[in-house]
Structure 1
């Protein structure tokens, strides 16, 4: 039986090179307890990432988070680093068109053995649409909160952090990253300076609205700026826009459930 992932969520409640994201949310604030209950954290020494619950058996994250998954585990439902409930991963599924070099279609699903006990995120529904230039979005993730300086290592946050960002125009996104994929991505800039997301936050939700009216419209993908650190002027953050992928998400969840 075909289902709607949106219905489930509601019912249960000059060219530059793409740079690997560094490990921090900069200039953010701690998310409150249960403020983002659908958040998930992938625990890995090599490739820590964030994700979010989209179905009782599925977590969405960036496909590049699956490149070095190794012994990665996942926990969900807490604003504390390594907190929450642990889930056993049974399947990793990057999008079939994912291009690691160009960062295209950087989205994937992670299926777990048992039902997740938190309400899934609300995904794109009208009237929310592709973010307008200058519009406000909120991104969340588990990452470092202070940049490494000299011999001093970065400082890792012990709580989930969130940061307000502002959408750039498609023209700006394209001008700063020539492989920008139009309707499948959007970008945000580093204004005000000192506010950004980075590698440890990859796969985390990019949201609009608040409370029950909060919707996830994108997931954190990659940063652009040769030699530019997160939060510095001249850098942009690129995010996967979820709406075009919803049919694929629904089909794959249905296929997974039917295979059991």
Structure 2
């Protein structure tokens, strides 16, 4: 079925019901692009990587082109935050939609009001049959159409079926992607324009973030040609499985993203303790090359001393030369492309 309700089978959100949801917009080749962001820190918004890279070059779009709307369930009433930097996960592969996560560093948001809050990342277990909510803006057609003015929400159900395994990214109910099946909750679905939609649930009375919407697949012969088909499955980036990446990229502690908002102040980045730890971490990271050189020199000196001792004892021999596969350049501990980091102000 096709419905004019955009998020299909759901309802309109209350004004301050989901104060952690942001609307991301920009224009590419004269075509408007929209996706959903989730506020997890007063300077960090999680978005799908797919939304903020050029479709041809797969490089991040210019951060100055992004418009981040927040503070209201209605898009026309939102305030706008300036984007300072975009950090796309270096493992993101657009064709396979792996590691579909990116972080936007925004100017510091005031999280002391009821209309703007961060949401903690859920750290617990997930099981098949679990009912969650998904929140976003979008339209009622797989392509084209008009975006809804007001934020909407609907319920979805976690699946761990063989159908979920039709996606090569899926590796279990608590893997890097989460799967929901439309047939488990007929008539409820996402639609176009809702990439990044927040997958959430209340835990002990407070919303927590499970995932962000990444992509659909449809198992019917005609494919994904309308929203809310029972043959469709939706896949979400499992945010907690990327918590190490998020914390390292932002340069703040994991607790900054997982702590409940009523357990500690929202302005975690202003904590002097975090400031001290971050400075210490940066100092240690800066010293790693120097420490490595010193350790290497000490080991070379020790090997020479051992060789001399062996020669003096009449037992001279040589160690086998290192192969090219294990050259010094391969032991620096740096593998893969350099990851982008944010400049969080403490």
Question: If the length of structure 2 is used for normalisation, what is the TM-score?
Answer: 0.61
| Large movers: runs of 4+ above 6 Å | none
Aligned equivalents of 1:218, 1:148: Cα separation in 2: 21
Comparing 57-66 with 203-212, greater Cα deviation is found at 203-212
Describe the shift of the 1:222–1:25 C-alpha distance in structure 2 as closer, same or farther (beyond 3 A): same
Q: Determine which structure has more spread, i.e. the larger CA radius of gyration.
A: 2
CA contact (8 A) 2:105 2:344 kept: no
**Paired residue total:** 230
The within-5 A match list for 1:1-260 is 24-44=6-26, 45-68=31-54, 69=61, 71-117=65-111, 118-125=116-123, 128-130=124-126, 132-144=127-139, 146-147=140-141, 154-169=145-160, 171-174=162-165, 176-182=166-172, 183-191=175-183, 192-209=185-202, 212-225=205-218, 226-254=223-251, 256-257=342-343
Give the conservation status (yes or no) of the 8 Å contact 2:142–2:224: no
Shift of 1:129: 1.7
Aligned with 1:46: secondary structure? strand
CA deviations on 1:184-225 (whole Å, 9 max, x unpaired) are: 001111133321113311112101126842111111110111
The unaligned stretches of length 5 or more in structure 1 are 1-22
Distance in 2, Cα, partners of 1:83 & 1:202: 21
Question: For the residues of structure 2 that align with 1:158 and 1:46, how far apart are their CA atoms?
Answer: 15
CA contact (8 A) 1:170 1:186 kept: no
Aligned to 2:261: none
Q: RMSD of the alignment, in Å?
A: 2.4
Whose strand fraction is larger, Structure 1's or Structure 2's?
1
Distance 1:39 1:238, change over 3 A: same
Distance 1:148 1:230 in 2: 6
More helix by share: 2
**Compared CA separation, residues 47 and 33, structure 1 to 2 (3 A):** same
Structure 1 Cα separation of the partners of residues 104 and 142 of structure 2:
31
Change (3 A) 1:193 1:85: same
Change (3 A) 1:227 1:244: closer
Q: Which secondary structure does the structure 1 equivalent of 2:193 belong to?
A: helix
Q: Unmatched 5+ residue regions in structure 2?
A: 55-60, 252-340
SS of the counterpart of 2:188? coil
**Separation (CA, whole Å) in 2 of partners of 1:101 and 1:166:** 26
* SS in structure 2 of the partner of residue 114 of structure 1: coil
1:45-98 superposed Cα distances (whole Å, 9 cap, x missing partner): 432000111111110011101124462311112110243221011111111111
Cα distance in structure 2, aligned partners of 1:249 and 1:77: 23
Query: Post-superposition shift, 1:258?
Result: 5.8
Tell me how far apart the structure 2 counterparts of residues 238 and 194 of structure 1 sit (CA, whole Å): 17
